[in-house]
Structure 1
Amino acid sequence: METAINQPITTEKSFSSTSKFLLEIPLYVYISVIASMCVILGILWDIAWHMSIGRDGLFSAPHVVVYVGAATAGIFSGYQVLKTSFWGTLVEKGKMVNFWGIFYSSLGGLFCIWGGIASLTSAPFDDWWHNTYGLDVEILSPPHTVLLLGLMSVQMGAMVAVLAFMNRKEAIVTLSASENANRFNRLQWLFITTAAFFITSIFTFLSEPLGRWAMHRPDFYQVASIAFPFILLATGRASGKKWGATYICLIFLFFHWVVNAVLRLLPAEPLLGPIHNKITTYQTLGFPLLLFIPAFAVDWLREKFSAMNDWILALILGFTYLFVLFVSHYPFGTFLHESPLARNWFWGSNSWSFQNDADWEYRFKFSPRNDISLSAWAEGMGFAILFSVVSSRIGLAWGNWMKQLQR
């Protein structure tokens, strides 16, 4: 059910100094959402840079986007901490988390501050790594792992910052009833958008085991069953919208596709040898997963069985998620990897790093390692079901926690 604003209008002064246009949502909340978008935008660009150009530096364009996004989130959140701690009222401090006995911050702000520091700390580490070992052959190199933790902390901070305001369900005295309803709806969509950016990050950093070439193996479904049900159910439940997880996955699909599709139109030339695939434009990650399909099924069942015990609900949702994922992505993998219709700008299946052999025999067909026996499939999918159910149960519990969060 959609959540309604039902608390009486509060007479306390809003601690947001923004105009009515922002509907009394503090500027740092909007900044954290924009920062959440910037960090994953920069990461997608950086991956395309590595696939297409190869040589980069500490202050290459994608790196700058990432660092600016992370730093901005940390700086604005830090300013909010200082402002509340030393110039805030008792009412304002009562809505914050007290730490070190002096400072007051929202929980989301703490995430953003830590994430900004971790992201910037990873920068010289990544530069040293490239100078010492050369171009990364995997996305999850040690410096990138540090960066990942920092960036996802920024994105988590953005989600939590929005949630704190959304869950209070305050009716601001300076706003009319319709404006208060609009404010709450805006907070819901800000949360849904930040959750979509968070899922984009998860998919991006797991793009190797979740690539189209893996969709005919149980490993793909195991990884996808660990990675996504918990966040889809948590954010879907916390969003307060019936189709929350579906909206999140549609925004993820659109954002990931648009960024990479635009990059594929831009000129790029390899600057690092050897060059095995001659290219003239950016090469990118392939088409994103169609997560909105299992998300739609999960949202429908979550609403239908909302009164059911969460353990039983997790069993139903976990099995449904995996079944729909398999039914939708096994044939989708065939299309993306083998069909000539997918080798174009829209689907992106012809994107191929300059370091990879352009004539590799398995570039557009599944290799023999995908020929798996029925018993191996049964065992692998059995584990995938288990992972999906456990991930779903964690997601439902996390969603309950998110719904209670107000600081």
Structure 2
Amino acid sequence: MTRRVDPVTLALALALGAGWFGFPGLLWDVAWHRTIGRDSFLAPPHVLMYTGVAANGLVSAWALAWGRRRYGAPAALSLSGAGFLLAVAGAALDEWWHVNVGKDVNLWSPPHLVGLAGTVLIALGLVFAVAAHTRFARTHRWWAPRVILLFCLADLIHKSMVALDHYTLDAWGRTPDFYPFLLALFLPAILVTATRALGPGAATATAVIFTVQHVVILLVLRAFDMRIPTFTPIPILPAL
């Protein structure tokens, strides 16, 4: 007998899998800027990131138009939908910015911050949706939702590093290592959330997942002779 796949689980898997593209996509994009420069709106790193955003937009649209009413899709996907619209606005604004203003000096440009805000909303929507759909707090023996949430929280660490302009576009740019007070606003909040939601050890696990992903992606980029952004162990420290 064939087991039927739950449509909501399938939709969340698609959104989460595609949403992860933002992590390597952003690091690849920074390395692309450092090595090649900004050549077009449809540069490969942009396509990778926009694919993840588009997939989440489709999942959110499905949830609003069909999935919530028929299959009980989590309402939190509406938050991801709002994030999708904001991310699209950021991408359009970024293209206008480059045409009318010029090259970005760092990641703290208005279009980037708009797009980042959109992806943060997408990530938060997915965290809430996974928690609601799996009811992980009531099923302590089911490890899969907990691992998924750890990866989602690690992605939020990545986005906080983007917000702090860690991935400098030029070698002379400063990283957030110079701004400890700004770091204190982001990382502890994410790590405390991980511990409160998933229990002892979750903060360390989140930092480890972020660090391992980060290092592996940078090593792959380095293997292709790309000028990679700086790596910092700072996210590990408050998790210890």
The TM-score, its normalising length taken from structure 2, stands at: 0.86
CA contact (8 A) 1:78 1:113 kept: yes
Pairing partner for 1:142 from 110, 132, 156: 110
Given the superposition, is the C-alpha separation of residues 125 and 17 from structure 1 closer, same or farther in structure 2, using an over 3 Å criterion? Answer: farther
Residue in 2 aligned with 1:53?
36
CA contact (8 A) 1:155 1:194 kept: yes
Given the superposition, is the C-alpha separation of residues 112 and 255 from structure 1 closer, same or farther in structure 2, using an over 3 Å criterion? Answer: same
SS class of match (1:228) = helix
CA contact (8 A) 1:166 1:188 kept: no
The TM-score, its normalising length taken from structure 1, stands at: 0.53
Deviation at 1:151, TM superposition (A): 1.0
In structure 1, the gaps of 5 or more residues are 1-15, 93-104, 172-179, 267-280, 297-407
Residue in 2 aligned with 1:324?
none
Number of positions where the alignment pairs a residue of Structure 1 with one of Structure 2: 234
SS class of match (2:135) = helix
* In structure 1, distance between residues paired with 2:42 and 2:235: 34
CA contact (8 A) 1:253 1:290 kept: no
CA contact (8 A) 1:152 1:198 kept: yes
1:154 partner amino acid: I
Pairing partner for 1:39 from 7, 13, 22: 22
Pairing 1:124–2:92 present: yes
Deviation at 1:80, TM superposition (A): 2.4
SS class of match (1:59) = coil
Residue in 2 aligned with 1:237?
196
CA contact (8 A) 1:265 1:282 kept: yes
Residue in 1 aligned with 2:209?
251
More helix by share: 2
Given the superposition, is the C-alpha separation of residues 39 and 108 from structure 1 closer, same or farther in structure 2, using an over 3 Å criterion? Answer: farther
Given the superposition, is the C-alpha separation of residues 292 and 166 from structure 1 closer, same or farther in structure 2, using an over 3 Å criterion? Answer: farther
Given the superposition, is the C-alpha separation of residues 232 and 213 from structure 1 closer, same or farther in structure 2, using an over 3 Å criterion? Answer: closer
Structure exhibiting the larger radius of gyration computed from Cα positions: 1
Residue in 2 aligned with 1:224?
183
Given the superposition, is the C-alpha separation of residues 213 and 68 from structure 1 closer, same or farther in structure 2, using an over 3 Å criterion? Answer: closer
SS class of match (2:103) = coil
Q: RMSD across aligned C-alpha pairs, in angstroms?
A: 2.7
CA contact (8 A) 1:209 1:220 kept: no
Pairing partner for 1:84 from 61, 67, 74: 67
Pairing 1:156–2:116 present: no
